[in-house]
Structure 1
Amino acid sequence: MISLDQEIQAKVNQWLGSEYDEATKTALKKLIDNNETTELTDSFYKDLEFGTGGLRGIMGVGSNRMNKYTIGKATQGLANYLKKQFPDQQIKVAVSYDSRNNSQIFGQLVADVFSANGILVYLFDELRPTPVLSFAIRHFGCQSGVMLTASHNPKEYNGYKAYWNDGCQLTAPHDENVIIEVNNIQNISEILFQSNPENIISVGPEIDEIYIQENKKLSIHPEAVQEQKDLKIVFSPIHGTGITIVPQLLKAWGFENVIIVDEQATPDGNFPTVIYPNPEEEDAMALAKKKGEEVDADLVLATDPDADRVGIAIKNNKGNFQLLNGNQIGSLLVYYVLSSKKEQNQLHNNPYVVKTIVTTNLQAEIANHFHVPYYETLTGFKYIGELMTKLGDSATYLVGGEESYGYLVGSLVRDKDAPNACAFLAEMTAYYKSKGKSLYQVLLDIYQEFGCYQEKLVSLTKKGKAGAEEIKSMMSNLRANLPKSLGNIAVVEVRDYENSVAIDMASGDKKVIDLPKSDVLQFITIDGDVISARPSGTEPKIKFYCSVKATLKDQSTYEELQKELSAKVDRMMADII
């Protein structure tokens, strides 16, 4: 006889009731018959909640899984909230989906529930990138939108990104209020599953052309693109939505020599060539990098399944292809945009740059150099989008992003935008090539001028209920035992974003951190190094970020300095993990 926690057993019994369809009950009975206690516990011990990236989880039966009922409940809760927020209005939402297994089915389900609630739905008739969904919300004048995707997670996952009328993912108070509405649904009979087809409008490729032309207007150096139109660019969508827009955008921008990685060109939710469809992972970039070597490319690009993140490979001074990390890519973009705008005398109308608290301070150094204000937000691009909406027309957003390979140039959308970033990375490569420089050489120039930064991210995966409890315990232990030094380097300040306080370790003085609460700890050393500890909001992981800096006097010593900094990072990480 299977033994479950009383509360979990009650939930299981509820899901075996007559309200649920036969397919769901059959799958649940199979878990019970096979004595899958751990799986049942993980599937029912909590309800899926909106994190930094919305609703995300493993597909399957249960309240903590992505399925018809959890998605239906989330959509009904969102619909209920929209009707309260926009009374006596014809509410409109946009719905899109990526290449993941069940994404299209879930997208139709979401459209059905909205339509049954009298809401007008702009439903994409084919998979499209997340940033195109964000763009469509504003283009169609929608009050909300939903993207069905689990971004770069493994194939077992799917997700539900909910957006507000500015094209930004839900932020406070809307995210919390939607959760309240979702939790107020006590019975699935309250979910209106019966579609009203009259309320569903099909969105075809016409939106692509509008998105592409609006992006093209952002080009900073079209003359460099024209000069380097034969620039050899390798692109892989890693079995995702990037194939629907990136090649077309690059062509419209003026690039005539885009080479697709055929093995990863077809959208496929099983991601057959990779374990993690994440351009942060070396394995996910391997085929694109190999193709780059074969054709002697100038630039290698790869986007994740919903095309909001992009990774790149470039040739180093030895002619070997090298992957850049997210901080390096973002820093190149910030430098390119600000230096080009200054050159063209376009740094006016209160320009600004945004980065997250775990993104390299190199970007802040670059912004300061060009006398452009920069803002820091919590991790999660929704906070960057929220800031863009808050500042509105009073200031001009230029560029920003996250170390996790998410960037945005210009303000067409309110989310990270890989197609947009691909176009600017290609233009940047063309511009510097026309000046006789590679991106690698430009990166070294930046390091020599602003300081050589070395960053490392360590992610520890802790799955299920036990994993969540372990992550919570790790953060509690860190708060209870604040390290006085890391790698034998004194810690001078601790920033606790959960408690909104920055602590001076020498004096004990405390300052208020003026950001929303978030379960993040940062340790700043006397050398200016930064180590951050943060449980992921979208994956069963705890992440540790480390950033160190040194002076690069001569570019010929870069590799040697890099090794020294890497060893320093490892010593510091060893004291905290």
Structure 2
Amino acid sequence: MDELVFGTDGWRDVIGDRFTFVNVGRVAQGYADHLVESGASRVIVGYDTRFNGHLFAQRVAEVLATNGLEVLISDGPIPAPVLSFAVVQHGAGGGVMLTASHNPPSYNGFKLKGAYGGTATDNVYQDVARRVTTTRPEDVRREQGKQYFEHLDIKESYFRHLSQLVDLDVISTLYGTVIHDAMGGAGGVWIAEFIEFLGLENIRILGRRNSPDPMFSGVNPEPIPTNLVSLTTELSIEPSRNIMFATATDGDSDRLGLVLPGGAYFNSHQIFSVLVDLFARRGATGRVVKSFSVSRVVELLAHARGLDVLETRVGFKYIAEAMLKEDVLVGGEESGGIGVTGHIPERDGIANSLLLIEAVGRAGVPLNEIFESIQREVGWVHAYDRLDLKLTTNLNKDLAMSSLSQLSNSFLGRAINSVERRDGIKINLEGGAWLLVRASGTEPLLRIYCEAQTVGEVERILDGAKQFFSTVSNN
């Protein structure tokens, strides 16, 4: 019997290796036992565009239904945030989203959603993982072929909700084109269909890679520059056509990245800042929640607008927890997952793309000019990059991390202002630059993040860090 490992947001494995119908059934049984014991009676099941997603989803639905739960299942690929919204809309006790998010096409995963419409808590995942450990294939209760479940009808309700989230008075007066690159994932044509639902003819949505593609055009469905070459090329060659921006959503459409006219990438920190600015322009209030690896610009902007800031460990689940406990205006992470007030406590690449259209209309200038204005306001120029440094063994990784505890007053020839240890080790350097080092919990890998005020400075710091850790780990 395979040992299945649950990470920070569910279970992921290679399709046909450990991600099999047998193991999917075991996890579904563990979740069914959890739901029944907690008193839940209804559950929502959805899936993205990965290989055999609909068959894996049917297997999950059969197991959940055989265990006495009322099951609603999507009749096609569905964005993860829409499934989370459906959990709340239908009063379900939880949800299952079969997706490996931005991971390679060979993977699939089993994500759990809470009754509140966001990622399940650590306690839920730990309980389900514990149950799965002792669940044998013969323990799975499933009556094959019987339709104990109903198909989910949620699109119109979700669109009506988005109509309340986005200021339609603003976007109805704005003329322009937005490109949506769904990367072959579950985002599909949802943005275009929302604009059509509103009956707006002033906003045109051009689709790219909007048909379901289990191979995601041969790249990981993660909206980062290396995976958006065709989009960057298109906007570099044809920067006109009144294009506001191009938005790219990941495999399950909960994260996004942008490309601007001219081909420049607009990263998650810039998007986060623009969304804070948008809600502040609306006159909204609340706390800004950012993960430990997010740009300094966000906190400086929040303080400039009189907003409190809460910093969390890396991972959207920590942001979601804050959104459940208090009034959060905007909460986000470095990887492009951002949640906003007035919505479910969940990342949503579709909703955030629409809010960015509003941001352009409300400010009256393009996104790059909005962000340039923010930089002037806070007195900080944003340059950022991340390096994933692979080492040979976990021992080398441990040696590299322990070396940081022995730092004196300088690092890479620069004075250290302070050191923070909220999640990994963040070294705040003289001049405002910072370097965050986090060790992977599953492989010999260091995740190294850096922010400074020029691209050149970021490159020099990351190159120096790479040389430093390579030397330390090999001694």
Check whether TM > 0.5: yes
Alignment of 1:156-175 (within 5 A): 156-175=106-125
Change (3 A) 1:258 1:574: farther
Distance 1:223 1:286 in 2: 34
User: Which amino acid is 2:388 matched to?
Assistant: S
Alignment of 1:121-270 (within 5 A): 121-185=71-135, 187-195=136-144, 197=146, 199-204=148-153, 207-220=154-167, 222-228=168-174, 230-252=175-197, 254=200, 256-262=202-208, 264-270=209-215
SS of alignment partner, residue 298 of structure 1: strand
Is the 2:165–2:343 Cα contact (8 Å) retained in structure 1?
Answer: no
User: Which amino acid is 1:235 matched to?
Assistant: H
User: Which amino acid is 2:179 matched to?
Assistant: V
Query: Who is 1:77 aligned against?
Result: 30
**Unaligned regions of 5+ residues in structure 1, if any?**
1-10, 12-43, 498-517, 550-560
Is the 1:235–1:258 Cα contact (8 Å) retained in structure 2?
Answer: no
Query: Who is 1:278 aligned against?
Result: 222
Encode CA deviations 1:288-326: one digit per residue, 9 max, x unaligned: 2334343532211111121111111113xxxx2211122
Distance 1:299 1:538 in 2: 37
**Unaligned regions of 5+ residues in structure 2, if any?**
471-475
Change (3 A) 1:431 1:454: same
Distance 2:47 2:291 in 1: 26
Change (3 A) 1:78 1:425: same
Count matched residues. 463
Deviation at 1:82, TM superposition (A): 1.7
Distance 2:104 2:390 in 1: 12
Is the 2:385–2:458 Cα contact (8 Å) retained in structure 1?
Answer: no
Change (3 A) 1:390 1:226: same
Distance 2:19 2:456 in 1: 43
Alignment of 1:244-393 (within 5 A): 244-252=189-197, 254=200, 256-262=202-208, 264-272=209-217, 274-280=218-224, 282-292=225-235, 293-294=237-238, 296=241, 297-315=243-261, 320-338=262-280, 340-342=281-283, 346-347=284-285, 351-391=286-326
TM-score normalized with structure 1 length: 0.75
Query: Who is 2:55 aligned against?
Result: 105
Q: Does 1:399 align with 2:399?
A: no
SS of alignment partner, residue 187 of structure 2: helix
Task: Tell me which of 367, 370, 373 is aligned to 1:442.
Answer: 370
Is the 2:400–2:469 Cα contact (8 Å) retained in structure 1?
Answer: no
Query: Who is 1:57 aligned against?
Result: 13
SS of alignment partner, residue 354 of structure 1: strand
Encode CA deviations 1:451-496: one digit per residue, 9 max, x unaligned: 112211112467xxxx7xx346414531255344332123344434
Distance 1:328 1:572 in 2: 25
Task: Tell me which of 395, 410, 414 is aligned to 1:489.
Answer: 414
The structure with the largest alpha-carbon Rg is 1
Is the 1:304–1:310 Cα contact (8 Å) retained in structure 2?
Answer: yes
Deviation at 1:403, TM superposition (A): 1.3
TM-score normalized with structure 2 length: 0.90
Change (3 A) 1:388 1:538: farther
Distance 1:95 1:307 in 2: 16
Distance 1:566 1:449 in 2: 25
Deviation at 1:173, TM superposition (A): 1.9
Deviation at 1:234, TM superposition (A): 1.2
SS of alignment partner, residue 416 of structure 2: strand
Is the 1:56–1:538 Cα contact (8 Å) retained in structure 2?
Answer: no
SS of alignment partner, residue 160 of structure 2: helix
Change (3 A) 1:174 1:425: same
Deviation at 1:418, TM superposition (A): 0.4
Deviation at 1:60, TM superposition (A): 2.1
Distance 2:371 2:60 in 1: 44
Q: Does 1:478 align with 2:401?
A: yes
Deviation at 1:388, TM superposition (A): 1.3
User: Which amino acid is 1:478 matched to?
Assistant: M
Percentage of pairs with the same residue: 27
User: Which amino acid is 2:400 matched to?
Assistant: N
User: Which amino acid is 1:215 matched to?
Assistant: L
Which deviates more from structure 2 when the two are superposed, residues 170-179 or residues 483-492?
A: 483-492
Distance 1:112 1:235 in 2: 35
Change (3 A) 1:69 1:473: farther
Distance 2:299 2:182 in 1: 31
User: Which amino acid is 1:444 matched to?
Assistant: E
